Chain A
Amino acid sequence: KAGVTQTPRYLIKTRGQQVTLSCSPISGHRSVSWYQQTPGQGLQFLFEYFSETQRNKGNFPGRFSGRQFSNSRSEMNVSTLELGDSALYLCASSLTPGLAGATQGTQYFGPGTRLLVL
């Protein structure tokens, strides 16, 4: 069974640009959560999608948005990039929404997309 895949793996952008990251969950998983990981702030929850609907959202500005398609693939978009958006962006897929995926042991992280904003 293929794992969670994220594309691209590495990305360099300049301030003011926008970026779109993609996450393909494990086959059969319908929940995709996005996280930002930085040395200063650690791992922070961005948002979660289940069955094409955003279920939960973290404390990030509106520049961060996402969507999920009918095949459960998810995209995350960051507009008007800032230097502070440089980070590792991780997605995690699970069978069930919310915390149930983690408590049922079905939550798996992808390898991440490392974004550098210059």
Chain B
Amino acid sequence: QKEVEQNSGPLSVPEGAIASLNCTYSDRGSQSFFWYRQYSGKSPELIMFIYSNGDKEDGRFTAQLNKASQYVSLLIRDSQPSDSATYLCAVSNSSASKIIFGSGTRLSIRP
């Protein structure tokens, strides 16, 4: 079992709709959870982090964390073509010494 799992996609969402990206992790001791956006040919960019159960909102982005289910998600409201990218879920290990990345979900927003 991979430590951090994501559906590779592609996930195709119409412009203006809500994109929902999901991630599960195996280490129950993980404390911090991150979402990175990576455009094709570019470097990852940190867009959200969350460490408490529940929702955290930042503009059009909402991160959701459920530690009991070992599940973290990212919602993107009012999706725009510029949101088309690969989204990487990352989780800290239980000793908080490093970040472990999922393989990423490719999101495509169709006009």
Contacts and interface: CB of A to CB of B under 8 A. Distances in A.
B46 A107 contact: yes
A83 B101 CA distance: 23
Interface residues of B, number: 21
A44 B90 CA distance: 10
Contacts of A103: 32, 49, 51
A64 interface: no
A103 B46 CA distance: 9
Given A42-B104, A45-B100, A99-B96, A112 B46 contact: no
30 contacts: A42-B88, A42-B101, A42-B103, A42-B104, A43-B44, A43-B88, A43-B101, A45-B99, A45-B100, A45-B101, A48-B98, A55-B97, A56-B98, A58-B98, A98-B96, A98-B97, A99-B32, A99-B96, A99-B99, A102-B32, A102-B34, A102-B99, A103-B32, A103-B49, A103-B51, A107-B46, A109-B43, A109-B44, A109-B45, A111-B43
